[in-house]
């Protein structure tokens, strides 16, 4: 027997200070923070049930985008992707991040979407997370620990945590490469992403192929550092990744693309690094 299903209404709570955020979340554990709400429209079109939403676009201090005295880039969770992408300091100092963000949707969407919302979406918006991982960034949660991006828990449900800001270490003397593959046209959601970077001689290789969080391929980075055959380490690391199914291609195909993109990204950063040396 096949039946139809139901629907309802959304409710919004507005916060203007971090204290109000804290109070609102404590009073209603089912409240979910949203940034530009670009994903909410999409969810409802998919038939998701309505929810209770905490808006963050007016929270003082949450849109900060500044470079500290030590060269650390600090990005507030409510900073829009467009704000980050077009900031000349970001483009000059952290071009990997600007490039990654530039792949997302179009300028109109990036003008509303926020970094916090993007990180909270997990697999639905992997580009900023992948780039931030490769840059060694960490994320501060409200009343919680500061965590590397790759270790952020899933923030997709109520009570999962509130992102305050991302901290991105100084990117001086570093070069990166960003490889991204789509299946259904150039504007499609990503199928595979690889971000690679060598900062002060330390390599980072980050792979995303549908997981909730990008994965740092530590063994590959170590092999590069030690001058060992990193291709072998890469094959092994990719084989060990648990990848979800996708309607855009088989898992075998996904691993294959990951292998190709990772190899290309690493070769690119090594070539640049050697040229610099």
Partner 1 sequence: MIDGRERILGRLERVADVRLKDMAHALLLRSPTARGTIRRLDAEVARSMPGVIAVVTADELRTEGLDAIRFGTIVADQPILAVDRVRYAGEPVAVVVASSLAAARRAVACIELDIDPEPPVADALAALTADAPLVADGRTHNELTRWGYERGDLDAARAAASHHFHGRWTSPVAQVVSLEPHAVTAHWRAPDSLELWTTSQSPSRVAQELARIFELPADHVRLHVPPVGGAFGGKNHAKLEPLVALAARTACRPVRFVNSRAEEFVTITKHAVSVEIDSGIDDDGRIRYRVARVVADGGAYANSSPVIPKAAGSAVLGPYRIDAAGVDAVVAYTNNPPAGSFRGLGVSQAAWAGEQQLDEMAAAVGLAPMEMRRRNLVRDGDRLPNGDLARDPHWLACSEAAVELLEQPAAEAASTAHAGRTRRGRGMATVMKATMSPFRTEVLLSVHADGHAEVRASAVDMGQGARTVLARLAAEALGLSIDAVTVVDPDTALTPFDATSSSSRTTYQHARAIGAAAERLRDEIEELATEVSRGQPLLAYAGGRVTAPDGSFDRSLGELLRAGGRGELVAKGAFVNEPEHDPRSGAPELTSHWHQGAVAVEVSVDIETGAVRVVRVGGAAWAGHIVSVDGARLQNEGNVIFGLGPALFEEVALVDGVPASTSLRDYRIPSLRDLPHELRTVALEAAAADHHPEGLGESLIPAVAPAIANAVADAVGVRIRDLPLHPERVLAAIDAASVGP
Applying CB under 8 A, the residues found at the interface with partner 1 are: 1-7, 42, 45-46, 181, 183-189, 247, 249-250, 253, 256-257, 260, 264
Nearer to partner 1, 53 or 253 (CB): 253
- Kindly give, in sequence order, each residue whose CB lies less than 8 Å from that of residue 264, ignoring residues fewer than 6 positions away: 177, 179, 194
Over its C-alpha atoms, the chain yields an Rg (Å, rounded) of 19
CB of 185 to partner 1, least distance (A): 5
Nearer to partner 1, 26 or 49 (CB): 49
Nearer to partner 1, 150 or 257 (CB): 257
CB of 258 to partner 1, least distance (A): 11
Nearer to partner 1, 9 or 277 (CB): 9
Helix (H) / strand (E) containing 30: none
Distances (CA, A) of 68 to 9, 53, 64: 43, 32, 12
Which letter does DSSP use for residue 71 in this model?
S
User: Rounded distance, CA 243 to CA 250, Å?
Assistant: 10
User: Rounded distance, CA 135 to CA 131, Å?
Assistant: 6
Nearer to partner 1, 256 or 273 (CB): 256
Nearer to partner 1, 46 or 70 (CB): 46
C-alpha 160: how far from chain center: 17
Sort 227 into a burial class: Cβ within 10 Å, 0-12 / 13-18 / 19+: exposed
CB of 29 to partner 1, least distance (A): 27
Provide long-range contacts, Cβ within 8 A and 24+ apart, for 26-32.
Answer: 28/52, 29/158, 29/159, 30/158, 30/159, 31/158, 32/157, 32/158
């Amino acid at each position: 027997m096949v039946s139809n299903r139901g629907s309802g209404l959304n409710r919004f709570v507005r916060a203007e200070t971090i204290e109000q955020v804290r109070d609102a979340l404590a009073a209603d554990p089912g409240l979910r923070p949203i940034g530009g709400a670009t994903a909410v429209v999409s969810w409802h079109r998919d038939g998701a049930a309505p929810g209770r939403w905490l808006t963050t676009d007016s929270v003082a201090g949450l849109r900060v985008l500044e470079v500290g005295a030590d060269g650390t880039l600090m990005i507030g969770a409510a900073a829009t992707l467009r704000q980050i992408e077009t900031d000349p300091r970001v483009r000059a100092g952290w071009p990997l991040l600007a490039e990654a963000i530039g792949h997302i949707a179009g300028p109109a969407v990036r003008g509303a979407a926020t970094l916090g919302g993007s990180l909270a979406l997990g697999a639905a918006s992997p580009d900023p997370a992948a780039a931030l991982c490769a840059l060694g960034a960490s994320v501060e949660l409200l009343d919680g620990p500061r965590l590397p991006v790759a270790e952020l828990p899933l923030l997709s449900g109520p009570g999962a945590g509130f992102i305050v800001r991302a901290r991105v270490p100084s990117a001086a003397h570093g070069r990166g490469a960003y490889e991204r593959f789509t299946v259904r046209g150039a504007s499609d959601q990503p199928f595979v992403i690889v971000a690679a970077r060598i900062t002060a001689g330390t390599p980072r290789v980050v792979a995303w192929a549908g997981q909730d969080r990008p994965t740092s391929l530590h063994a590959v980075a170590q092999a590069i550092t030690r001058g060992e055959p990193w291709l072998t380490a890469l094959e092994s690391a990719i084989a060990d990744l648990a990848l979800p199914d996708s309607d855009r291609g088989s898992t075998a195909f996904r691993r294959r693309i990951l292998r190709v993109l990772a190899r290309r990204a690493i070769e690119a950063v090594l070539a640049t690094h050697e040229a610099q040396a």
